[in-house]
Amino acid sequence: MTLRGTRYFVVCLLLALAMSGGAGPVLAQEGLTPDLVGTALTGHAFQFITKYGTVGHKVLWKYDDAKAKWASDGRSFTIEARVGLLNTKETTGNRSSLMTQRLTVIYDPDTKSIRVEQDTATQGDSVEASWEDIKKEFPDDEIFSSGNPATPQSTAAAGAGFSGAVPNNWDATRTKDSLFLKRKTAKAKSPCGWEMSVSASITAKAPARAQKPKDAAEALALAEASFKARRQGATPNDMAVGLAMVGGREGASSFAMGDFKGAIADFALWLRRGSWGGGYTGESFGCNGAGQVVRNGEVIEFSYGASGSGCWDNSSRSYLVTQGVAAQEEARAILASLRWDGKNSLIKAPYLGPKYDGSDLPKVVLNPATIGKLQVGETATIEATVPNIKPEDQPLTFNWSGTFEGTPESATSSPVVHLLTSKPGKYKVNVGVDGKRFGIGGGSLEYEVVAASASNTSSSSSSNTSKTTTAPERRIVQVSNYDGVSSGPTAPTVLTFHKNWMITFIQTYHWNGGRGTSRPGTIALRDGSGKVYGPWNASGAPGQGGVPNAYWEVRPNFALPPGTYTVIDSDPTTWAQNAASGGRGFIVVRGHERPPKP
């Protein structure tokens, strides 16, 4: 029998990779490119599932990535393959053959699986072929290494086992009847100085005859009973400080390994917090899952587990939870990819999870990181930013303390506070930021307030320089917002002043796609007649996430008469702007109001 008469031909290849997104079609977002799928198909044995039952053939593929065509929905593509259908049983009518076949690869985002379907309408000519004929087209396939056997054997008889897809941070070992996988231990130094680490493992046992479960429904009932019996699964109780659920997946749900159908019980991350007093004990967590899948009275039992430990002061929690959740999702995806096909083939895939060193974890950054001396009455703000924050950790809670305007209770939802500058002295402001799953971290800043100076020296040689300032500083102009930004203003940054001002501070923003600038440049103002005030050399301050010289700041202490002025930034190509700013560059101007001349 050839593929020509197989109307219900379906081949399933579950890669089940837990990967992150990116631009492009859905398959590419999951890391499943036409080339990867083609490579996975090439030279691997599959069964043809037809309305007539399972046919004993090995399928060989030749695949050309250049001929892959994406569908408009981005969830499927069509490939053209050269197919060798090699009979592996002495079955009357099931002869070996060669053909050119068009196949459609369809991605299921719910199960992260790939289904390969035959396009019967475009099937090429199929011709009967001997083993030698097929070997000429597929000379490198291992099935030919022992020559042309007189009685070809089933691929399952050559060595029973699991095939599947495994990220390259997992290592596998096998026994006669089981597959074991171990996640490479994630290790990093915690904020308290202790090592924090997370490890995980998987076990899948070969199919065995069993009376229970007899089908998928019974498997689900068993999983539900297991979850209800003990919600924290295999994680032991702690009588001293108790356990808290900190994330991950939990509950009973349907599960499949190819045509083995059943269920799994997942147990979330349960954490024992760190403690001290009667000795220092680091925080630790555990999570696990187990289930069964069944086919024709044969049952595959499988399980996974993950655990981790860290600091006595609980400062390692973000690392433990992030790596623990990733390990759980990876374990489930690997198990879903497994097939009992006798091939013993594990396809390695890139690891795209959280970084083992913890460098991509959310963290608290104060902006500005430092601040110079402030005069009594001067306005200054501090913002707590949190790069790399995940949606599941929001909204954030800000725990401010120290010296600032307002009360800690009124500032819990605000990332910004105004510093208190009512009298001279040295002060400190602190913040701790908590997410929904764990504490993110904190920061502190010291600042000094001095009495207003009797005279100010201008950095400009203009005769308009003021020598005295007594009024408190205030914000005069601000062109900025919290939307995403692009570089290069598309409209002039024009400012209009209706009063006499002593300009004490000008700041422009240079995010530059997260790259900042190598060094700060200059800022100047040009009036309607073309007269230029400045330029003033700027100092640099880091932006969100430590972006270098994202803020350019000058303190010109310059007397400016009423009028309309255009801001001149020495590097407009990195100057931030967006639609909400009308294409104008981001800028903040502060100063003192000056009385008109008598």
- State which of 126, 157, 188 marks the end of a domain: 157
Report how far residue 267's alpha carbon sits from residue 121's, in angstroms, rounded to the nearest whole number.
Answer: 47
As given in the structure block, the two tokens for residue 372 are: 């110079």
Q: What is the residue-level pLDDT of the chain in tens, covering all 598 positions?
A: 233 332 223 333 333 332 223 333 444 444 455 555 554 444 333 333 222 233 345 666 665 555 566 666 666 667 666 777 666 554 444 567 777 766 676 666 665 556 666 654 444 556 666 767 777 776 766 556 544 433 333 333 333 489 999 999 999 988 878 899 999 999 999 888 899 999 999 999 999 888 889 999 999 999 999 999 999 888 888 756 678 888 899 999 999 999 999 999 999 999 998 887 667 889 999 999 999 999 998 999 999 999 999 998 888 999 999 999 999 999 999 999 999 987 788 888 889 899 999 998 988 888 888 888 888 877 788 888 888 888 888 888 999 999 988 888 877 888 888 888 888 999 999 999 988 888 888 889 999 999 875 444 333 333 333 333 345 677 888 888 777 789 999 989 988 888 888 898 999 999 998 889 999 999 999 998 889 998 999 998 888 777 899 999 999 888 888 889 999 999 999 999 988 888 899 999 988 877 655 5
Distance of alpha carbon 69 from alpha carbon 85, whole angstroms: 24
Backbone angles phi, psi at 327, to 5 degrees: -65, -40
* Residue ending a domain, choose from 452, 483, 500: 452
Please report how many Cα atoms fall inside a 13 Å half-sphere around the Cα of residue 361, on the Cβ side: 25
Question: Is the domain of 177 the same as that of 255?
Answer: yes
Q: Are strands 126-128 and 48-50 parallel, antiparallel or unpaired?
A: unpaired
Distance set, CA 430 to CA 128, 403, 415, 438 (Å): 79, 9, 12, 18
Q: Is pTM beyond 0.85 here?
A: no
Print the domain residue range for 83: 3-157
DSSP 206: P
Distance spanning both ends of the chain, measured CA to CA: 106
Beta strands in 193-283 (DSSP E): 195-205, 208-209, 244-247, 251-257, 260-272
Considering the domain architecture, whether residues 503 and 534 belong to the same structural domain is answered as yes
Same domain, residue pair 442 and 464: no
Q: How many residues does the chain have?
A: 598
The DSSP call for residue 274 is P
| Structural domain includes residue 357 | no
How many domains is the chain partitioned into structurally? Answer: 4
The C-alpha atoms of residue 65 and residue 39 are separated, in whole angstroms, by: 9
242 and 95 part of one domain: no
Residue 361: CB atoms within 10 A of its CB come to 21
**Separation between Cα atoms, residue 282 and residue 280, nearest integer Å:** 7
| Within-domain flag for 354 | no
Task: Tell me which residue of 80, 99, 89, 86 sits closest to 130, measured CA to CA.
Answer: 86
Residues 117 and 189 placed together within one structural domain of the fold: no
135, 313, 593 from 598: Cα distances, Å: 102, 65, 15
